[in-house]
Structure 1
Amino acid sequence: VLSVVCRDLGFDDMHAVTLPELCWWMVRNDLAEVLPESAARKALRMPKAIVQSATRESEIVPSVPATSIVQDKAKKVLALRVDPESPESFMLRPKRRRWVNERYTRWVKSQPCACCGKQADDPHHLIGHGQGGMGTKAHDLFVLPLCRTHHNELHADTVAFEEKYGSQLELIFRFIDRALAIGVLS
């Protein structure tokens, strides 16, 4: 097993695999659930679990197993699935499915306004580029943090807003780039 770990991690056969390297290899290969509790505790620098032979029930303190912590940290943030044969791809005029991500829009709302830098009130969804429709709006990825004043200004006169601050596409592109660069989207 250790020679496979060395090869997969790019080391030569003379390398002595450390516990953190072994844990990383197990997480990378979706084997975090079979990691022994003692190894997980050591990798997380948690103290050894003390098992007392005789204790009263009132002295038992529940704790989270180290293996659960490793599995929780190893969860995929975003699993991007590609379905080349989705049912909609075979339809003449497929109904669009909107991508919704409440955590991302909540984060967008907490960012400074893209125009003035004040606290944003709303995540503005892209309009005027065929992304929305009657009773729907653009995907949650195409949002921009705006304060109430600038959000109202944009909806009142999109052309004037874009002349003053730049096109929505440019602003959203820059914002998505920032979100990727600081690790919010990965």
Structure 2
Amino acid sequence: MGKKRLNKKQGLSFEVICLGAALCVVLGVFLLVNQNKGLQKSSLGVSQTAEAAHSTSSGQAVYGLPKPTQLISTSKIHSSPVLKGIKIDPNDPFKLEFIIDTEDEEDVSEEEVRRLVEYFLAALTIPEEDLWVNLSPYEENKIIPKNLSHTELGKDLLGEDYVLKQLVSSLTYPESKLGRKYWNKVYEEVRKIAGTTNLHRHV
């Protein structure tokens, strides 16, 4: 498996594109077969991520995620590497070169390329309606679809959702300057609409 920094557009013939599409399907099936072999291990990783996201008592960081009670802030703008395309040798269809746009990175490691390729294959083989995660205390039985839960993509999406919700919680923390401003505005609007702020939380 090769990698290449994207520096210009490259044209591919119709035959090569069709060959590439067919090959992607084959690779996707291969990925699903291998996922089933490692089902127990993958499911454990996803369940641990979900457990870390829901936990409020251990206070331990898991998989590099911030602790549940930790306030976090926005980071500087950064663009991560992106898999932009696949170059296929028409004389050897199993010789693939994945085209990676390094974005803000100087270079991309083989481990990062592997992760991006796994993301691509998972997204290729899993139905679009199953590409979602939902860390909600009100829907504990709808955290992640079964197919997605067997993949690295699923685990990382759970981690992203966890951080996103923690960031929103941190930015709206009532004891912070921004949080006080936010909640004062919320209560002001609620009072205008309902005439009171003593409402049920689901209203």
Same fold per TM (> 0.5)?
A: no
TM-score, normalised via structure 2 length: 0.23
The structure with the largest helix share of the pair is 2
Report the structure number with the largest CA radius of gyration: 1
Comparing both structures, which one devotes a greater share of its residues to strand?
A: 2
